[in-house]
Amino acid sequence: MTQRTQLSRARRLVVKIGSALLTNDGRGLDVDALALWVDQMAALVKEGVELVVVSSGSVAEGMSRLGWKSRPEQLHELQAAAAVGQMGLVQTWEAQFKRHGIHTAQILLTHDDLSDRKRYLNGRSTLRALLDFGVVPIVNENDTVVTDEIRFGDNDTLGALVTNVVEADGLIILTDQLGLFDKDPRKNPDANLITERFAGDRDLDAMAGGSAGVLGRGGMQTKLRAARLAARSGAFTVIVGGRIDGVLARLRQGDVVGTLLLPEQGRIAARKQWLASHLQTRGRLTLDDGAVKVLRQGGRSLLPVGVKGVIGQFRRGEMVSCVGQDGAEVARGLVNYDADEARAIAGLSSNSISDVLGYISDEEMIHRDNMVII
């Protein structure tokens, strides 16, 4: 599949922009450059693309405001710089999108937010709601409270994880390099740009040498690693120079710029393979014959009305096994309600969930995209 096909069909994208670009290599927040990217992003939004921005730059902007020339090593100094810089960074994003009549929202995450299943699901629900409302979330690591033990490591990794969380079609990493080359272009004038490969190709590792600059934490190796993380949920990644004129518009039009790294499986197939092989079941739902037939033949979601019994203690978002009345496993998937809630709504229509629980999280007990038929 070509770049043209990938980008023209994408309906949900995550765009990650590095510190060197946003702060003009450390000389303060580059408002003019940011405005040009927002112009292109706004055009995508008006085409119907749902967009999430992963923005570096809070520490670098804070360093600039505080007059620091080199990135501090002490954690409390990094956190202080992030706190100072975050103010200007978010205000600038908000002001630039406001020119196009588009609202933004600030989302600050730590690794704990995505490793704890309940917080992960709450974060996913919030991000999806914002996208439904036409809002552009501006995501950054919560550097003011994060510690080395729970740090993502770099915003390339954060971008890939956000891509997985919102089930985006692709991740675009805007960087100060034109893309991934077969040799270091700073040392080898004959280096060739890699235009399109599978993210999992192992010969790319030797090509992704080099470290990050003084402002950021992520070099080309972290970008390749991020592409592989995104590929796990079937998303493509483009690593491309953010200073290329009209870069996002050119990608959308199918111009061959940057490096396109493709997943080897489609989004749903990749996700379901992960579900089937990497998660242990925490409970069991017994289904009536009608629900078993619907799941096996129709590829539909599991509704509460089809559940006759609930066994075990599990939390929302954990894997449960679905069995027929004969005990044979039919499917497994990520349940939308915890065990006590599932027992309360088992056998009821989706319209009754709110009456019983006082709220409704999802109409389905398990959504078909989060289910694997056995």
Percentage of the chain surpassing pLDDT 90?
A: 47
CB-count exposure of residue 55 (10 Å: 0-12, 13-18, 19+): buried
Residue 336: give its domain's CATH number. Answer: 2.30.130.10
Average pLDDT on 161-172 reads 90
Question: What average pLDDT does this structure show over 160-173?
Answer: 91
Predicted pLDDT of residue 260: 94
In a domain, 99, yes or no: yes
pLDDT of 217 reads 41
**What is the structure's pLDDT at 214?**
38
pLDDT (0 to 100) of residue 149: 38
The reported pLDDT for the residue numbered 94 is 96
Q: Does 273 fall in a domain?
A: no
Most confident option among 41-50, 62-71, 205-214, 227-236: 41-50
Q: How confident is the model at residue 152 (pLDDT cuts 50, 70, 90)?
A: very low
> Same domain for 70 and 217?
yes
Distance CA(182)–CA(193), nearest Å, equals 7
Per-residue pLDDT band for 150 (boundaries 50, 70, 90) equals very low
Residues 328 and 252 placed together within one structural domain of the fold: no
Tell whether 153 and 295 lie within a shared domain: no
Nearby residues of 321 by Cβ (< 8 Å), 6 or more positions away: 281, 283, 284, 285, 329, 331, 332
Do the domain assignments include residue 274?
no
Which of 223, 241, 267 is the last residue in one of the domains? 267
Q: Are residues 333 and 206 in the same domain?
A: no
Per-residue pLDDT tens over the stretch 96-108? 999 999 999 999 8
Question: Same structural domain for residues 244 and 294?
Answer: no
Which is more confident, 131 or 221? Answer: 131
Residues 35 and 131 both lie in one domain: yes
Q: What band does 342 get if pLDDT is binned at 50, 70 and 90?
A: very high
Residue 244, pLDDT > 90, answer yes
- The pLDDT value recorded for residue 151 is 47
Residue 81 forms part of a structural domain: yes
Same domain? For 151 and 11 the reply is yes
Residues 209 and 318 in one domain: no
In a domain, 136, yes or no: yes
| 221 and 363 in a common domain | no
- Nearest-angstrom CA–CA distance, 79 and 61: 12
Please tell me the total count of domains within the chain.
2
**Domain end position, chosen among 267, 291, 324:** 267
Q: What is the mean pLDDT of residues 209-222?
A: 56
Question: What is the rounded average pLDDT for all residues in the chain?
Answer: 85
Please give the average per-residue pLDDT across 78-88, as a whole number: 87
- Domain of 324 in residue numbering reads as 279-373
pLDDT tens digit string along 120-144? 778 888 999 999 999 999 998 876 6
pLDDT attached to residue 29: 85
Euclidean distance between CA atoms 215 and 57, whole angstroms: 8
Domain check: are 303 and 259 in the same one?
Answer: no
Residue 368 and residue 238 in one domain: no
Question: In this predicted model, which residue has the larger pLDDT, 153 or 292?
Answer: 292
Residue 24 lies in a domain: yes
Residue that finishes a domain, picked among 267, 293, 326: 267
Kindly state whether residue 56 falls inside one of the protein's structural domains. Answer: yes
pTM given for the model: 0.75
Residue 181 shares a structural domain with residue 330: no
Burial class (CB in 10 A: 0-12, 13-18, 19+), 148: exposed
Q: CATH code at 101? A: 3.40.1160.10
Q: Which residue has the tokens 């600038």?
A: 92
Could you give the residue ranges of the DSSP H alpha helices within the chain? Answer: 3-9, 19-22, 31-46, 58-66, 75-98, 111-115, 117-132, 155-165, 220-231, 247-253, 267-278, 289-298, 339-345, 353-357
* pLDDT classification of 56: cutoffs 50, 70, 90: confident
